[in-house]
Amino acid sequence: MEKTLQELAAFLHGTLENDDPGLRITGVNGLVEAGPTEISFAIPPYVEFCHKSRAGAMILAPGDRKLDRPVIRVENPKQAFAELLELFRPQEEVARVISPLAYVAEDAKVGANVAIQAFAVVESGAEIGDGTVIFSHAYIGRHVKVGKDCVIYPNATVRESCVIGNRDILQSGCVIGGDGFGFVTNNGKHNKVQQTGNVVLGDDVEIGCNSCIDRATVGSTVVGNGTKLDNLVHLGHNDVVGENNLFVAMVGIPGSVTIGNNNTFGGQAATVGHITIGSNNTMAGRCGVISDVGDNQVLAGFPHMSHVEWLRQQSKLRKLNELMKTVKALQKEIAELKQNK
């Protein structure tokens, strides 16, 4: 595929500077990897280095630096880059057929334009929406409802009675609706509590590889529209997660936590159970949240505190060795003064 700069500017609804009519863009790549016939993008803090890239053209925001090469100015360069990736590197089409090597229960309802590949399983009472793709070895349990235009990758599991929204993506190895971690301890023995609820995913949700969302003990574990889970994330039973949240790898949320909208959990962040977290918060990597959190906060550390306070503490900790040397010197001086009395 080749595109002129004017064609790309029109595609991105951007403004073209320093047009080179003879340049044909053959692909899109990163700042370091891009070559003379490719286009790349830059956002702060990389804008100041983008002139060193070999890319034939660049995508920048309106207020960014001028360059000696073609530039397409758009409001969101990263979004524009994502759109060009889809243009130049479209995913391969999957044949919309049900493989004779798949198991689809006789009473399962399968919509139009659906692909179910070899060795996938769709159990009794399940419903698969139009345009959904189910790859090999995926498992769709009894009475599961899968919405339209979903992608369920190999070895993903959706357990019985769970609900998957529209345009959801389930990456390989994820488990939706595994039993919640519920036990009653009597006389030192842990007795399992039956987990009778389900999991409900909203629309445009993505679940990363080997992430797990546990079914509710009763009722539903809920993940709201637009929320994205990275790999190796755990959401416990009866969690209620709002819209457009981000969970980076290895986040752990135990049971009965309520989370609002537009929160970001950094890698390895975790919470205690049975708390409420508001909206528009950022939990830095390895942050440990031990109590309710309101809105619009940036937290770090364990136990959680404001990120500013955590930075102050870390700054002081870095001076601890020098402080100990000072204390030992003072102790020695005091001891000598006592001896000379």
φ, ψ at 3 (rounded to 5°): -135, 140
Contacts of 202 (CB under 8 A, 6+ apart): 165, 222, 223, 224, 225, 226, 227, 243
Pairing of strands 15-17, 71-73: antiparallel
Instruction: Tell the residue number behind the tokens 């301890």, with chain if given.
Output: 185
Contacts of 198 (CB under 8 A, 6+ apart): 160, 161, 162, 163, 177, 215, 216, 220, 221
Q: Are 56 and 69 in contact (CB under 8 A)?
A: yes
Contacts of 309 (CB under 8 A, 6+ apart): 301
13 is catalytic: no
Please compute Rg for the chain using Cα positions. Answer: 27
Which strands make up the sheet holding 212-214, listed edge to edge? 103-104, 121-122, 139-140, 157-158, 175-178, 212-214, 234-235, 252-253, 270-271, 288-289
Secondary structure class of 118 (helix, strand, coil) = coil
The catalytically annotated residue of 143, 190, 234, 237 is: 237
| Closest C-alpha to 139, from 194, 109, 124 | 124
Cross-strand bridge partners of residue 306: 299
Torsion of CA 204, 208, 209, 215, to 10 degrees: -80
- Enumerate the active-site residues: 237
